[in-house]
Amino acid sequence: MAAKDVNLHAAFGEDNFFRNAFNYDLTQIKKWLDDCVKGEKGGPQTEKEEVRKQLSRIKGALYFLILPEGLHFDDPNAKPNSHFRRKVRTDWRTVVDKDKDPVKFKLLSWPIEHQGALKESLESSWANAYDLLGLFISILGPAPTTADKNNYFLPLAAVYGRWCSRIAGHACWKWNWKTPGNGAGDWPYMFQVTWKLMKAPVDKKPPAGKKPPADYKVFFLGSSIAGDDWIENDKDDKDKYTGKWRRAVQHSRFNWLYSGLRLKKFTLKDFDSSPVQKNPKTTSNQPYGNCAETYPFIFSVRGSGNEDLMGLALRRDYMMDQNLTAYNHDKVSANLCGPCANCKKLIRDAGAKTANFSVYKEASSAPGRPKATTAAKTKTATDNMSAVNDPPPEGWSNSDDDLNIEYYWGPDGDGTMAAQQVGLTGAKGFMIVSRDNGRDAYMFTASTGKVYLWNMVTNEIYEYTKPTDRTAILAQMKMPPGKGELERKLLFGGDL
């Protein structure tokens, strides 16, 4: 444990919860969840019988979907393994019409009610291990008013992400993870927590001898869509091919976000026209509902009075060290990200402040912040390209620190591996979405001489098809809002 690290708040009835829980393995996590259901852990909430009943139900659903052998995760009748509840659609292979995408599974879900920061409780649908874990922990809230970003919500998101990495999925394919490591799909790209200060009613006098009700901070945890390998282009592999299953899952989450939100500023027809998708100059292709903010926003955004909503998003890369054994505030903070264009729109539509979701909001004063500079990074990121397209278009960065060339584009870097998946070699990044704008996409060139976009959330690669050269593309991206056009196409393994 670093001697200079920040003091973390107590949580869920345990003084040193965050630092201890950060290191829990799957057995310890399950034991802790079991103990919460029994009322022996989890703090004041689990003293209530109705809360324990709710937790018991959620735990039951969760255990169906997690490692090592959840009945729905490892279902002999619904291969390949997945951390989503599903069943095989018997007719799915007969779909031949180009526009009717074959989808192997029908997504099944559990309806579960929760109130969060809302005025009344709300029923939403749950189908995934990571989402259910976020719900379970969120029910153990609220946090006290002394909880803030650095002493509570950041370590909370870090513990949640760490537990997600233990209950399901696998690290990015380059990491030969050992425990437990054999789940389905990469870990979620992003973890998010949204919180809101709830004022105790001032008009009610407490009964004699009782303390007046205190203010508190209610929170909700979520992750970006993950938990499946989404093999959509290997049609001949009967065991692995699942068609457009990822899109079907995205569509369900989009619908759940839509029906859950108390303030609706988009419509059910907007699945393919979120701000990210509509703006050809920006980044990638996520619909509303793909982000880690999905469930947190469902249970935090009210019909009005959202000015004080706060949030943070944490990228999974803080876990990419196999020897990670302790919570390190600086290393975790360095992976904070601002909201993407979709989430920024949802935040603004809610009447909340995007600044309250910024990387730099309540930034810790610990050394190394807000710029995460290490000696190793500065030494290795000597790529000259940053000078070529200086300054980058708005929302993008080409600083050596952000580019982190060695990390992403080294021989086993995530970018290099993603490019290789579609047959590209000599991949080298030159511009990344800035940290405060989500850091979710990276532009790169390859030995083909063409320019590509790597969607870091979904791990998809797009090729720029009009224009095709870097200078012209950048010129389009720097045009004023509403101007500038770019076309790109999604690449699959067999395209090249």
Which chain residues interact with Zn ion by CB under 5 A? 291, 340, 342-343
CB of 119 to Zn ion, least distance (A): 25
- Nearest CB to Zn ion, comparing residues 277 and 342: 342
Is the CB of 29 or the CB of 340 nearer to Zn ion?
Answer: 340
CB of 360 to Zn ion, least distance (A): 18
Beta strands, E only, 388-467: 396-397, 428-433, 441-445, 451-455, 460-466
The string of DSSP letters for 362-378 reads T---STT-SS---HHHH
With a CB cutoff of 8 Å and minimum separation 6, the contacts of 100 are none
Euclidean distance between CA atoms 348 and 95, whole angstroms: 41
203's CB contacts (< 8 A; 6+ apart) are none
CB of 66 to Zn ion, least distance (A): 25
Task: Tokens for 428, please give them.
Answer: 């080298």
H/E stretch holding 402 reads: helix 400-403
The answer to whether the CB of 459 falls within 8 A of the CB of 186 is: yes
CB of 342 to Zn ion, least distance (A): 5
Shortest gap between Cβ of 340 and Zn ion (angstroms)? 3
Q: Please state the φ and ψ torsions of residue 484, each to the nearest 5 degrees.
A: 90, 130
**Both tokens assigned to 347:** 């935040």
If the CB atoms of residues 229 and 440 are measured against Zn ion, the closer one turns out to be: 440
Q: Closer to Zn ion at the Cβ: 339 or 392?
A: 339
Quote the distance between the C-alpha of residue 72 and its chain's center: 22
Angle at 22 between CA 19 and CA 26, to 5 degrees: 140
CB nearer Zn ion, residue 81 or residue 194: 194
Q: Min. distance of Cβ 122 from Zn ion in angstroms?
A: 21
Residue number with CB closer to Zn ion (343 or 424): 343
> Which residue(s) pair with 364 in the sheet?
none
Cβ closer to Zn ion: 116 or 222? Answer: 222
- Could you tell me if 312 and 153 are in contact, meaning their C-beta atoms sit under 8 angstroms apart? yes
Min separation Cβ 223 and Zn ion, Å:
12
Minimal distance, residue 291 CB to Zn ion, in Å:
3
- Measured from the CB atom, is 55 or 341 closer to Zn ion? 341
3-state secondary structure of 427: coil
Residues 6+ apart with CB under 8 A from 158: 18, 22, 191, 314, 318, 327, 332
Cβ closest to Zn ion, residue 335 vs residue 342? 342
Report CA-CA distances (Å) from 9 to 23, 149, 164, 222: 17, 10, 21, 21
CA distance 378 to 376: 6
| CA torsion through residues 79, 85, 91, 93, sign | negative
Min CB(274)–Zn ion separation in Å = 9
Among residues 285, 397, 414, the alpha carbon closest in space to that of 341 is found at: 285
Cβ proximity to Zn ion: between 422 and 453 the closer is 453
Cβ 227 to Zn ion shortest distance, Å: 18
- Nearest residue (CB) to Zn ion, 102 versus 311: 311
Shortest distance (Å) from residue 293 CB to Zn ion: 5
Asked if 104 and 130 count as a contact pair (C-beta separation under 8 A), the reply is no
